[in-house]
Chains A and B, each alone.
Chain A
């Protein structure tokens, strides 16, 4: 498995560290339902058997956090984006 880092080009997977599901979103800690929302955020996962959006860091390269869209049945990678671009798009959607 090779991940095409948008900054460094295609690199072996052993250069990258894995964090997990990129679709979970940290809830508002001041909301009245914060406790169940945090349980869901920290522990519960869709764990799909198909396309999975996930966070990787190019730890032994440029240190960038990436959002990788990967088919977890085949390990084929569809898309690699910089996590900060994904976060910026998400927050502008929210506004």
Chain B
């Protein structure tokens, strides 16, 4: 690798010489005339795919093109939660693959991504909901994923601040995944970028795709704001803008773009040391290492590319928080922001070939793209390099909507704002 190897020794060495010796973590590359693979979108998924292409599959003549700066989209706008507590067979192995990659990520990248397996706790409030969570936990355990059901006495030791006697949603227990937790989101983008760059990948920022060159049903390259770039293979990892980019290649996707808001408070002393979700009240929360309470809820529920939401959702999320933990009521809100979610019609993602030969699609991540970053990158790289899907992502077909093999984790039907 051309970059520094980060270690205790390099930190000590730089401490002694005033931190003057650090090199940039990645080059500011200019586009070459052509590449073997061009990945559109320098977010978590695109950068991870570049890293795994170079490291696992030996494909290094690769460029990642990004219209803004890397990590400026959803990988820098999420609430940093990782988990693999899914129910359906198409999903559990994929997200568990992601969790295992998270567990080895920092060693793999030689980068501190602050992976913190502090556990993810999903609260339940009724017998029916307990049974549903027990079923989910059993499905996870059958797939070799950790899960345990907590009763109120145990839960009170972990989360003493909850309003257990709430009149509408009394807390009756929880499903816990101990290996779930949080990761420093920016560091994920930067760590993958640094690793990919060190293996020869060009990361080209401020380079917006304006069209594709397709002849005889085959991709030849892409038109960008920095000129034409030839490519044998092109992969799209454009999150909320997937439909817009795919439209340039003549495709309509089973996706609507929606806005999801997130919130952080001023820093406070250690208050909550897990991730806690209150699904019934549209609220989830964790605490960052700086002390801010990071929380969110549901998507606003209408199409949006605005990267900001509306006040009713802010109120709804904060009401959910107040109902669950009245103690947070006096904490001041520091920031709220929005990100654009590529909401697929069944709530599950797509990693697949497209009708255009040499063009691959990674999209439809809904509000769950961050936890999937390592596996999505790995499976997309596998698909590009081998031209066949990775076994754990084999269900994420683009044609599943036509064949009836949708993966509807919530059972809501083709209604993106309900997933």
CA distance A54 to B257 in the complex (A): 13
The answer, yes or no, to whether B8 is at the interface (CB within 8 Å) is no
Name the B residues within 8 Å of A1 (CB-CB): 310
The answer, yes or no, to whether A31 is at the interface (CB within 8 Å) is no
Quick one: closest B residue to A56, CB to CB? B302
Q: Tell me the B residues contacting A by CB distance below 8 Å.
A: 241, 243-244, 247, 252-257, 301-306, 310, 312, 345, 401-402, 414-417
CA distance A14 to B303 in the complex (A): 15
Interface mask (A38-60 → B, CB under 8 Å = 1, otherwise 0): 01101111111100101000000
CA distance A7 to B305 in the complex (A): 29
Name the A residues within 8 Å of B244 (CB-CB): 47, 49
Instruction: Tell me how far the C-beta of A93 lies from the nearest C-beta in chain B, rounded to whole angstroms.
Output: 23
Instruction: Tell me how far the C-beta of B35 lies from the nearest C-beta in chain A, rounded to whole angstroms.
Output: 27
Query: Does B306 lie within 8 Å of A52, measured CB to CB?
Result: no
The answer, yes or no, to whether A32 is at the interface (CB within 8 Å) is no
The answer, yes or no, to whether A74 is at the interface (CB within 8 Å) is yes
Name the B residues within 8 Å of A61 (CB-CB): none
CA distance A42 to B289 in the complex (A): 44
- Contact size range, A: 20 to 34
In the complex, 12 of the A-B residue pairs with CB atoms within 8 angstroms, ordered by the A residue number, are A18-B301, A20-B303, A20-B417, A40-B252, A42-B345, A42-B401, A44-B254, A47-B255, A47-B256, A48-B243, A72-B257, A73-B306
Name the B residues within 8 Å of A20 (CB-CB): 256, 303, 415-417
Query: Does B304 lie within 8 Å of A46, measured CB to CB?
Result: no
Query: Does B243 lie within 8 Å of A12, measured CB to CB?
Result: no
Instruction: Tell me how far the C-beta of A73 lies from the nearest C-beta in chain B, rounded to whole angstroms.
Output: 5
CA distance A46 to B253 in the complex (A): 7
Quick one: closest B residue to A54, CB to CB? B303
Instruction: Tell me how far the C-beta of A33 lies from the nearest C-beta in chain B, rounded to whole angstroms.
Output: 13
Name the B residues within 8 Å of A14 (CB-CB): 312
Query: Does B303 lie within 8 Å of A44, measured CB to CB?
Result: no
**Interface residues of B: mostly helix, strand, loop or mixed?**
mixed
CA distance A73 to B303 in the complex (A): 9
CA distance A21 to B402 in the complex (A): 19
**Interface residues of A: mostly helix, strand, loop or mixed?**
mixed
The answer, yes or no, to whether A9 is at the interface (CB within 8 Å) is no
Query: Does B302 lie within 8 Å of A18, measured CB to CB?
Result: yes
Query: Does A74 lie within 8 Å of B306, measured CB to CB?
Result: yes
Query: Does A39 lie within 8 Å of B401, measured CB to CB?
Result: yes
The answer, yes or no, to whether A13 is at the interface (CB within 8 Å) is yes
In chain A, residues 41-93, which have Cβ atoms closer than 8 Å to a Cβ of chain B?
42-49, 52, 54, 72-75
Instruction: Tell me how far the C-beta of A59 lies from the nearest C-beta in chain B, rounded to whole angstroms.
Output: 12
Given contacts A13-B312, A54-B302, A75-B310, contact A18 B417 (CB under 8 A): yes
CA distance A60 to B22 in the complex (A): 59
CA distance A75 to B310 in the complex (A): 9
Name the A residues within 8 Å of B345 (CB-CB): 42-43
Query: Does B303 lie within 8 Å of A72, measured CB to CB?
Result: yes
Name the A residues within 8 Å of B302 (CB-CB): 13, 18, 54, 72
Instruction: Tell me how far the C-beta of B130 lies from the nearest C-beta in chain A, rounded to whole angstroms.
Output: 30
Query: Does B306 lie within 8 Å of A45, measured CB to CB?
Result: no
Instruction: Tell me how far the C-beta of B310 lies from the nearest C-beta in chain A, rounded to whole angstroms.
Output: 5
Partner among B241, B310, B402 whose Cβ is within 8 Å of the Cβ of A49: B241
Query: Does B310 lie within 8 Å of A45, measured CB to CB?
Result: no
Name the A residues within 8 Å of B304 (CB-CB): 72, 75
CA distance A42 to B415 in the complex (A): 9
Query: Does B257 lie within 8 Å of A43, measured CB to CB?
Result: no
Interface mask (A2-23 → B, CB under 8 Å = 1, otherwise 0): 0000000000111000111100
Query: Does A45 lie within 8 Å of B252, measured CB to CB?
Result: yes
Instruction: Tell me how far the C-beta of B86 lies from the nearest C-beta in chain A, rounded to whole angstroms.
Output: 22
Q: Top 6 nearest A-B pairs by Cβ distance?
A: A47-B243, A14-B312, A43-B254, A43-B401, A49-B305, A44-B252
CA distance A24 to B301 in the complex (A): 19
Given contacts A43-B254, A45-B252, contact A52 B303 (CB under 8 A): yes
Name the B residues within 8 Å of A49 (CB-CB): 241, 244, 257, 305
Quick one: closest A residue to B310, CB to CB? A1
Partner among A19, A39, A48 whose Cβ is within 8 Å of the Cβ of B402: A39
Name the B residues within 8 Å of A72 (CB-CB): 257, 302-306
Query: Does A46 lie within 8 Å of B416, measured CB to CB?
Result: no
